[in-house]
């Protein structure tokens, strides 16, 4: 009987970790935090792209820490893909807490504004848009689908 005890304990430990990995993968929630206009990066791109900073809030109810390893997220405005999220990956998703993943979104200016003068008018008036992000985040334990909307003002 004493010889079986280590195997039983190892089996119980593996079952526990398997359960926590499933909780991580199935119960992870993603939502938008703050979104802001990054004027410095937009100017660096000579207004050919609008760069937005977006904080993604990831809620992890499990007792397992994971990482975002990559993914592909498209930016949609008025039903049209106009850009993508830059530099996905490298964020640690801590166990049992909310984690903020800072992302940068690049939106092709000509995809949403017919002319640069329209962009300048919108920035001057503080225009608002509805932004939708669709795609997948790859984590160390699997894939998370994202389909979120947020309003922002330039």
Query: Domain map of the chain by residue range?
Result: 30-153
Q: How confident is the model at residue 132 (pLDDT cuts 50, 70, 90)?
A: confident
In this model, does residue 14 exceed pLDDT 80?
no
Residue 40: pLDDT band (50, 70, 90) is very high
Handedness of CA 63, 27, 21, 98 (dihedral sign): negative
Q: Is it the case that residue 72 has pLDDT exceeding 70?
A: yes
Residue 12: pLDDT band with limits 50, 70, 90: low
**pLDDT band at residue 2 using 50, 70 and 90 as cut-offs:** low
Pairwise CA distance, residues 49 & 35, whole Å: 16
Q: How would residue 28 be classed by pLDDT, with cut points 50, 70 and 90?
A: confident
CB contact set of 153 (below 8 Å; sequence gap of 6+): 126, 127, 128
Q: What is the mean pLDDT of the chain?
A: 77
Report percent pLDDT > 70 for the chain: 70
Question: Average pLDDT of 61-72?
Answer: 83
Signed CA dihedral, 77, 138, 93, 67: sign only: negative
CATH architecture of the domain covering 30-153: Sandwich (2.60)
Q: With 60 as the cut, is the pLDDT of residue 115 above it?
A: no
- For residue 32, the model assigns a pLDDT of 82
């Amino acid at each position: 009987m004493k010889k079986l005890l280590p195997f039983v304990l190892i089996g119980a430990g593996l079952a526990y970790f398997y359960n926590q990995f499933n909780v991580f993968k199935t119960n992870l929630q993603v939502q938008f935090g703050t979104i802001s206009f990054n004027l410095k990066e937009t100017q660096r791109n000579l207004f050919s792209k609008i760069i937005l900073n977006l904080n993604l809030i990831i809620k992890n109810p499990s007792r397992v820490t994971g990482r975002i390893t990559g993914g592909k997220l498209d930016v949609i405005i008025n039903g049209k893909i106009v850009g993508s999220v830059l530099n996905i990956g490298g964020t640690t998703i801590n166990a049992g807490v909310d984690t903020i993943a800072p992302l940068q979104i690049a939106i092709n200016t000509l995809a949403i504004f017919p002319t640069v003068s329209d962009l300048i008018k919108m920035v001057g008036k503080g225009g608002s848009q509805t932004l939708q992000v669709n795609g997948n985040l790859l984590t160390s334990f699997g894939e998370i689908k994202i389909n979120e909307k947020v309003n922002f003002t330039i």
